[in-house]
Structure 1
Amino acid sequence: MWAAGWGCAQYQNARFPRSEPQESHLEPNAAPLKATEEKLHARHKLVVEGVGHLLCAIGALAVGTLLLLKGVASIPNAVLDKIDAVNLATFGMPLMLLLFGVTITLMIGLVGRMYRDESREWWARQGAWTAIFMLAWSGLFLCTFYMPPLLAWTFAEYQALSSVGALAIVLLAWLGLRSGSSNATGRPGSSSKLELAAKIAPYAFMLIIVAILTTWLQTMAAPAPRLTPGTHPLSAFYAAYFKASMLSHGLLIPLLIYCAITAAVLGWRVDINKFSLYMMYRMRLVRAYFGASSNPRAPHPFTGFDAADDIPLHSLLHQRPDGSIQPQRPYHIINTALNLVNGEELAWQMRKAASFSMTPAFCGFEMPALPGSHGDKVPSKMLRGCYRPTSDYASRPALFKDDDALVKLGLAVAVSGAAASPSMGYHSSPPLSFLMTLFNLRLGRWSPNPLKEHKWKQSAPRIGFFSLVAELFGLTDSSANFLYLSDGGHFENLGLYELVRRRCRLIVVVDASADHKFTFDDLGNAIRKCFTDMHVPIRLNASHIETMSGPTPVGAAFVTGEINYAKADGVCENGVLLYIKPTMTGSENADLLNYRKTHADFPHQSTADQWFDEDQFESYRALGYQIGMAALKEAALKSASRLPGSPSHRIGYLAHLLLKQGEAEAPANVLPLHGEEPPKPPVPPKPSAPGVKTGEAGKRRA
């Protein structure tokens, strides 16, 4: 075995030789001679290393054999007689692997300097995987054989206490599930108790699930005799269960075959997207919002759903008489998050997601290229991504004419709002993914990978079992045939990223997140990602936005900033960002002030509140209307175009006016951004001549 492994390693080293620096001072005729000498030297070295490695391996094997024999001989016969097949299977394999590790370590030490650094690193990684295998083996066998008798003895001896403990674990798991899938955790300043519950609960519930599964397996494959409570110690329970397990070899194989067949049939027939909360959420979004504007509408008399409410996303592209495509205004860009929980991009281990957009024209993603070994960009499609026509993406129906083919508007909107999902971008946690998948709390969707030539037209995975396993253990990445898409906020919550990618001249962002502390988490995240991925700096001073704390009006609800496209593109004209945040400044109308006084968290109420009453809905509408008029009315009137057949507003001029408006309100202490010149402080007015009155004070005195 050792000789085969060593020979395989040498063969791989010969296939991928190390690149040595070439010596440029050699004569042209001397190069072939030097190459021949190097080959002879390599062969001689290979023979010497092979003999040396063999002798060291024999010595290490002899020491390991002596240790094994000595260890077995030191065990008393009374103990050996009590070791049954269960104990041998549970502890025998880890002990043998441990002895193997000691032997290999001794061999590496004896080989000494003949070992290359690459070989030592190979053995180090092999040792790590061996340790992982030992832990997995021990955990599996301990849970399978030792947990059922322990639970039986515990409930027999301490029935009331065990019931209370199980109920407490279930409540903890429920609390952790709620807190882990909400906005109350994963943010700076969130409750430490909720954070702790979200971290502990998945492990606690996984323990319950493992206990239930192992007990069910024991009952089905090897039922143990029922022992009288209070008369048998724990060792008697173990002995009875172990004896039943050793007599169950005839039932275990049929049970495994039955489970495998059941999993295969269900994985083939049960659609992973249809049988989840995603489809329920999507259908109700379509009925509530699209149905309201669908006229005429023919709903089902019992369910109230109408299939005509949900339209294909590509139908929003209108065709002109000459055959060209005219996009509808506004042009919808629906953002989702491509989950990369198991991605190999080390630079993105914190974000764990990328942007995946759906528009009437194209669907797809494009991740920034990572630098190569020589500083150049890697031209790999896996890193860059691609886009496919929306009319063809996910358009191939299943075998039985699946009605879920094509990207429809309801599909895109539902995925874009899939906040509660096992994979949630930078909110992802492997234990929480396991727990949410187990309870089918899955609002996300498995969609075809645009990079896969033979898969990107399929509407869903043919067999959902493998996708479900990937979702269960957090193994989502960008190289699979199907991608797991969830709420766009799991990557960037404002929708600014994709607009900056398209170099929009004027971008209006409404930050409606529940940010009552004004930490601007979503804004900061978007600005950082735009600069990190696209090298586009955004200069914005949000210090003016401040909520009222007394009767005196303070602060503002909107600010303008500059998007410096020229820093990334060189010649591109810069853009303007109008950032609006729902804020009570104190100058609002009486109805808004009344609602604020009776609801202290307005206008930053939790997004968990999905049942707005009439007063609440009207208060948010009125506040948004007032902020929008204050931010855009004056600039929109000045930029309005009065020429027949032209757009209603000159966007370039409107952006210019908004930027000037922001510069007039900006303080003088704004720091420069990446080499930009800081804004100049306002020039104080010159003192007026005697007897001349200026300003409002002068008017009042006059």
Structure 2
Amino acid sequence: MTIWSLPAVIFRTIFLNLFVWIPLSAAGFLLLFLLGMAAAALAPFLSHNDLQNWIHCYLAPGHHVAFEILAQIVMGLVVLSAYFALLLLIFSSIIPPESTDTGGSKVWRVVLTSALVPMVLFVTWISVIMITTLNTSEGALSTFITWLPWPLVVGLVFIVGFQIFGNIAFNEQYRARRLSEIYGGKLLVAVIGLSLLAAIPYVYQLLVWITGDQNEPRAKSAIGVLSVVSSVATGIYGHLTRNTESSSLTKYVASLGAALFLYSIAIIAYLLAIAVMPHDTPSEMLDAFRNDQPQALILVWIGLAVGFAFTTNINYLGLYRFYRDRLMEAFMPSPDSIKLWEARYSEADRYSIAELWPQKEADASKSREHPYPIFNTNAIMVNDPDPKLFERGGDNFIFSPLYVGSASTGWQRTPGYIGSRNPVTLPTAMAASGAAINSNAAYIGEGVTRESLVSIAMMLMNLRLGWWFARPNTKPRRPNHVNPGFWAGVMGFGYTSKSNFVELSDGGNFDNLGLYELVRRRLKIILIIDGEEDEASAMPALVSVSQRVRDDFGVILHLDRRVDDLMPAPVPGFPLDVPFAKSAYFTARIEYPDKEDGCGLLIYLKARMIGDLDFIVRGYRAKNSNFPNEPTLNQFFEPEQFEAYRTLGFVAMSRLIGDLKLNGGLIGSGSLLAACGLQPPQMPVQPPSTGHPQAGPGAAP
């Protein structure tokens, strides 16, 4: 492994995924050409009217009628939106939105409406007569304008009816405003999307004109370079800003880069499509094979891409496997790896998490030499109808030896989930829990990677560490480029608690401390070790999870004034002007809502510069101003850096154990609870097999 290994993997990932997506997009353009031909054949007025002739003559869209029809659809949508705005204007002029009188002015409103109706109809019909007289082709434009008055008549009839029924009009006016606000935004997105699609031939011609190369190779090269640069820039920018507060400018810059990438990919796909089918003549594709033309290779490429799109597991073509294998080699090495000091295959690669704990209740009561592991991830749910899940961007999803799932998706026993061909190994669960770079997800639910365009670009390149899993208690499915790749990742469908696939990302996108699931289990003592990047000492992870456990479980963490000793302040001595904290930990009371649960104790340890640290650690801090809050982008620790963090953790934990008298461990900490006015923990209870979320599914016995 060298510093160039990661760039090589990123390049391989982008290449493998664009190898599928670009020809798939080209197939989409070919389908668009065929649909345009079918529409022109079934509805001749779409391709024989003054508007179409004007588009064809003055805009010169090329040799495909599909783009001319798209342009007409865009213009029609614009006219309809303006038409609805006109109805809303008439409605508002008759009844002012702030009006509250529904009785005395009813007669006046009816008279005013009756006067406006013939006036509007007269002006509309005069306009229709004038335009249809000039337009003799009887095509789409004249047909559309001829039909135009009838929706207006229906709208005005409804308005007159509302005047007669008094205050119903006020309700309907509000509903009309809400409809225009809600669906107006969706209509605007549709108009922009269709306009950009219809403009692709013109944009390519513009690039040819700018490069001054009529043979087109320089224009094609410019598009390719733009695609590569924007894709890499979007991925890097999204990673660098994932843990930072995203300003509006940050989001706009990232979205613009993603938009350039997506549009350049569309233009490249368009070039492939017109190379195979330059005119609205499907036989040209067959001629490519008959005459052994190079275009036949493009058709073969498209066929291979369609096959790969439905059969390839999209999880295996991303950065996830690279990330998972490195974690396995570092934290679960084989004996040969340790002996030879080199990365080798580890048996942990096939070690199921269900094997980490006895599955039978009789065996579960026996003493064990290791703790019960809970792997926290974030199930992305950016489209869920539940406002809470939508705003948070997901729900806490766990993998444990006994249970898999979340409160929103439901729970399933781990052996049953794995038995239905959903393998969950120890390295897989650990890597999913730390999948920090992912589309539609960000640190504690806020960040630039939640922007739609950025997420689509990351999904197409598969520059993500997340993992697609089948939702618990559903039949096994293999995630591929079509579903959920295109269906959810690109089109935006899915990403709900009822979707067949669940995309899992870093648990820190929901709770970066692991406190949420421990509070759910009503534990008496919770020890949290916080090593996140927090140079501003804002403690965002603790603030976020404190609010979420209060909202979801009614649990209150009494943190007021408890965190003050963790706040660093400058002190005299070496290193100069470096802030130190009085302590690296604090304790706080956990107040559970149920009387039978009583209260608990939170012990919170954070990476802090404290006075007990030796000269070597202080010297490292003197040379590195962001220690111990260095960014996670730095994945290659030097020996000096590693030793500084190791010593920091050892000194801080030794002080915590000594102050709280935990030499016997947390199990024997009844005296600690008593000193805090809390009751010692009772004998643990095995979780019920129903997996009810409030009962603590997956909780350790």
Using the TM superposition, give the Cα deviation of residue 108 of structure 1 relative to its aligned residue in structure 2, in angstroms. Answer: 2.8
Correspondence 1:283 to 2:325: yes
Using the TM superposition, give the Cα deviation of residue 363 of structure 1 relative to its aligned residue in structure 2, in angstroms. Answer: 1.0
Greater helix proportion: 2
Secondary structure at the counterpart of residue 544 of structure 1: helix
Which whole-Å CA distance do the structure 1 matches of 2:528 and 2:147 have between them? 59
Which whole-Å CA distance do the structure 2 matches of 1:571 and 1:98 have between them? 69
Correspondence 1:504 to 2:529: no
Residue 355 of structure 2 aligns with which residue? 315
Correspondence 1:653 to 2:666: no
Secondary structure at the counterpart of residue 538 of structure 1: strand
Using the TM superposition, give the Cα deviation of residue 657 of structure 1 relative to its aligned residue in structure 2, in angstroms. Answer: 4.7
Q: Is the 8 A contact 1:391 1:407 kept in 2?
A: no
Residue 574 of structure 1 aligns with which residue? 599
Using the TM superposition, give the Cα deviation of residue 442 of structure 1 relative to its aligned residue in structure 2, in angstroms. Answer: 2.4
Residue 162 of structure 2 aligns with which residue? 112
Which whole-Å CA distance do the structure 1 matches of 2:152 and 2:265 have between them? 36
TM-score using structure 1 length: 0.65
How many aligned positions are there? Answer: 531
Tell me whether 140-149 or 273-282 shows the greater mean CA deviation. 140-149
Which whole-Å CA distance do the structure 2 matches of 1:469 and 1:486 have between them? 18
Q: Which amino acid aligns with 2:357?
A: L
Residue 99 of structure 2 aligns with which residue? none
Which whole-Å CA distance do the structure 2 matches of 1:491 and 1:198 have between them? 22
Tell me whether 439-448 or 105-114 shows the greater mean CA deviation. 105-114
Q: Is the 8 A contact 1:310 1:408 kept in 2?
A: yes
Q: Is the 8 A contact 1:563 1:576 kept in 2?
A: yes
Secondary structure at the counterpart of residue 407 of structure 1: coil
Q: Which string of whole-angstrom CA distances, capped at 9 and with x for unpartnered residues, describes residues 479-502 of structure 1?
A: 111211111011111111111111
Residue 344 of structure 2 aligns with which residue? 304
Q: Is the 8 A contact 2:259 2:453 kept in 1?
A: yes
Using the TM superposition, give the Cα deviation of residue 276 of structure 1 relative to its aligned residue in structure 2, in angstroms. Answer: 2.0
Residue 438 of structure 1 aligns with which residue? 460
> Given the alignment, which residue of 574, 578, 602 partners 2:627?
602
Using the TM superposition, give the Cα deviation of residue 350 of structure 1 relative to its aligned residue in structure 2, in angstroms. Answer: 2.3
> Given the alignment, which residue of 187, 193, 208 partners 1:155?
208
Residue 536 of structure 1 aligns with which residue? 555
Using the TM superposition, give the Cα deviation of residue 542 of structure 1 relative to its aligned residue in structure 2, in angstroms. Answer: 1.1
Secondary structure at the counterpart of residue 633 of structure 2: coil
Correspondence 1:208 to 2:264: yes
Q: Which amino acid aligns with 2:390?
A: Q
Q: Is the 8 A contact 1:64 1:103 kept in 2?
A: no
Using the TM superposition, give the Cα deviation of residue 573 of structure 1 relative to its aligned residue in structure 2, in angstroms. Answer: 2.4
Q: 1:70 to 1:600 in 2, by over 3 A?
A: same
Residue 405 of structure 2 aligns with which residue? 364
Q: 1:251 to 1:658 in 2, by over 3 A?
A: farther
Correspondence 1:615 to 2:654: no
Q: Is the 8 A contact 2:608 2:628 kept in 1?
A: yes
Which whole-Å CA distance do the structure 2 matches of 1:288 and 1:113 have between them? 75
Which whole-Å CA distance do the structure 2 matches of 1:98 and 1:258 have between them? 47
Q: Is the 8 A contact 1:175 1:197 kept in 2?
A: no
Q: Which string of whole-angstrom CA distances, capped at 9 and with x for unpartnered residues, describes residues 654-682 of structure 1?
A: 3445789xxxxxxxxxxxxxxxxxxxxxx
Residue 479 of structure 1 aligns with which residue? 498
Tell me whether 351-360 or 458-467 shows the greater mean CA deviation. 458-467
Which whole-Å CA distance do the structure 2 matches of 1:214 and 1:102 have between them? 40
Secondary structure at the counterpart of residue 505 of structure 2: strand
Residue 547 of structure 1 aligns with which residue? 568
Using the TM superposition, give the Cα deviation of residue 595 of structure 1 relative to its aligned residue in structure 2, in angstroms. Answer: 0.7
Q: Which string of whole-angstrom CA distances, capped at 9 and with x for unpartnered residues, describes residues 207-250 of structure 1?
A: 3233333343333322xxxxxxxxxxxxxxxxxxxxx5xx4466
Q: Is the 8 A contact 2:337 2:343 kept in 1?
A: no
Residue 591 of structure 2 aligns with which residue? 565
Which whole-Å CA distance do the structure 2 matches of 1:429 and 1:104 have between them? 40
Q: Is the 8 A contact 1:564 1:575 kept in 2?
A: yes
Q: Which amino acid aligns with 2:313?
A: D
Q: 1:321 to 1:150 in 2, by over 3 A?
A: closer
Q: Which string of whole-angstrom CA distances, capped at 9 and with x for unpartnered residues, describes residues 50-100 of structure 1?
A: xxxxxxxx99998899478436426467xx79x9xxxx6xx8999899877
% same residue: 22
Residue 17 of structure 1 aligns with which residue? none
> Given the alignment, which residue of 606, 613, 624 partners 1:588?
613
Q: Which amino acid aligns with 1:635?
A: L
Q: 1:555 to 1:100 in 2, by over 3 A?
A: farther
Q: 1:65 to 1:356 in 2, by over 3 A?
A: same
RMSD between superposed Cα atoms in Å: 4.4
Which whole-Å CA distance do the structure 1 matches of 2:176 and 2:302 have between them? 36
Q: Which amino acid aligns with 1:112?
A: F
Unmatched 5+ stretches in structure 2: 1-116, 288-295, 574-578, 679-701
Which whole-Å CA distance do the structure 2 matches of 1:511 and 1:96 have between them? 69
Q: Which string of whole-angstrom CA distances, capped at 9 and with x for unpartnered residues, describes residues 564-604 of structure 1?
A: 334x1123221111111111134410111111111111111
Which whole-Å CA distance do the structure 2 matches of 1:92 and 1:614 have between them? 78
Using the TM superposition, give the Cα deviation of residue 355 of structure 1 relative to its aligned residue in structure 2, in angstroms. Answer: 0.5
Secondary structure at the counterpart of residue 315 of structure 2: coil
Q: Which amino acid aligns with 1:388?
A: Q
Which whole-Å CA distance do the structure 1 matches of 2:465 and 2:545 have between them? 24
Q: 1:262 to 1:585 in 2, by over 3 A?
A: same
Which whole-Å CA distance do the structure 2 matches of 1:257 and 1:273 have between them? 26
Q: Which amino acid aligns with 1:559?
A: Y
Residue 470 of structure 1 aligns with which residue? 488
Residue 694 of structure 1 aligns with which residue? none
Q: Is the 8 A contact 1:446 1:484 kept in 2?
A: yes
Q: 1:468 to 1:604 in 2, by over 3 A?
A: same
Q: Is the 8 A contact 1:560 1:576 kept in 2?
A: no
Q: 1:70 to 1:123 in 2, by over 3 A?
A: farther
Q: 1:459 to 1:619 in 2, by over 3 A?
A: farther
Using the TM superposition, give the Cα deviation of residue 127 of structure 1 relative to its aligned residue in structure 2, in angstroms. Answer: 6.7
Q: 1:467 to 1:93 in 2, by over 3 A?
A: farther
Q: In the TM superposition, what are the counterparts of 1:417-432 in structure 2 within 5 Å?
A: 417-424=434-441, 426=445, 427=447, 428-432=450-454
Q: Is the 8 A contact 2:384 2:497 kept in 1?
A: yes
